[in-house]
Amino acid sequence: MRIGRAGRLLALALAAPVAASPDGRIAIDHSRLDCVPHDRYTRITATGAPADGVAAAQLQFRSEGDRGWYSVGMAVQGAEWSAFLPRPIRPLARLEYRIVMRSSDAAETATPVAAVPVRSEAECGSPSQSSAEVAAPIVVHVPKGAPLVPPVPAGFSPAGIVAAQERAPTSRRKKLAVGAGLAGGIAGAVVLGGNGIAQTPGPNEIPGFRFSRTAPVPGSVLSLSRDQLSVFVLLTGRATRIDFFWVLELLGVGVETVCVSMSGRATVFSALPATVTLTGPLFPRGACGERFDVDRSRLRVSINGRIVFEEIQAPLPFHFEP
Rounded CA-CA distance 176/317 in Å is 34
Is residue 111 predicted with pLDDT exceeding 50? yes
pLDDT for residue 132: 84
Q: Which residues contact 91 (CB under 8 A, 6 or more apart)?
A: 155
- Kindly indicate the confidence band of residue 99, based on its pLDDT and cuts at 50, 70 and 90: very high
- Kindly indicate the confidence band of residue 245, based on its pLDDT and cuts at 50, 70 and 90: confident
3-state class of 175 per DSSP? Answer: helix
Rounded CA-CA distance 263/317 in Å is 19
pLDDT for residue 101: 94
pLDDT for residue 30: 95
pLDDT for residue 15: 42
Please report which residue ranges of 110-237 form alpha helices under DSSP H. 121-124, 176-183
Rounded CA-CA distance 119/125 in Å is 9
Determine phi and psi for 114, rounding to 5 degrees. Answer: -105, 120
Is residue 80 predicted with pLDDT exceeding 80? yes
pLDDT for residue 24: 57
Is residue 37 predicted with pLDDT exceeding 70? yes
pLDDT digits (tens, 9 = 90+) for 233-243: 888 887 667 77
Mean pLDDT throughout 176-201? 33
pLDDT for residue 52: 87
Mean pLDDT throughout 18-38? 77
More confident residue, 163 or 9: 163
Between vectors from CA 66 to CA 63 and to CA 68, what angle results, nearest 5°?
Answer: 105
pLDDT for residue 284: 81
pLDDT for residue 126: 61
Lowest mean pLDDT among 81-95, 187-201, 281-295: 187-201
Mean pLDDT throughout 245-251? 87
Please give the mean pLDDT across all residues of the chain: 77
Mean pLDDT throughout 42-68? 91
Decide: residue 259, CB within 10 A, 0-12 exposed, 13-18 middle, 19+ buried. Answer: buried
Lowest mean pLDDT among 82-86, 89-93, 176-180, 270-274: 176-180
Is residue 181 predicted with pLDDT exceeding 80? no
**DSSP letter at 132?**
S
Please report which residue ranges of the chain form alpha helices under DSSP H. 5-15, 121-124, 176-183
**DSSP letter at 123?**
H
pLDDT for residue 319: 93
Is residue 106 predicted with pLDDT exceeding 90? no
Cβ contact 19:102 at 8 Å: no
Cβ contact 124:36 at 8 Å: yes
* Whole-structure pTM value: 0.52
Q: How many CB atoms lie within 10 A of CB 177?
A: 11
Lowest mean pLDDT among 54-58, 162-166, 235-239: 162-166
Mean pLDDT throughout 104-127? 86
Lowest mean pLDDT among 207-211, 267-271, 304-308: 267-271
Rounded CA-CA distance 59/140 in Å is 10
pLDDT for residue 253: 87
Cβ contact 98:18 at 8 Å: no
Mean pLDDT throughout 90-110? 90
Is residue 5 predicted with pLDDT exceeding 70? no
3-state class of 167 per DSSP? Answer: coil
Rounded CA-CA distance 65/182 in Å is 26
Domains of the chain: 7-163 (2.60.40.1930), 173-321 (2.60.40)
3-state class of 322 per DSSP? Answer: coil
pLDDT for residue 239: 64
Is residue 97 predicted with pLDDT exceeding 70? yes
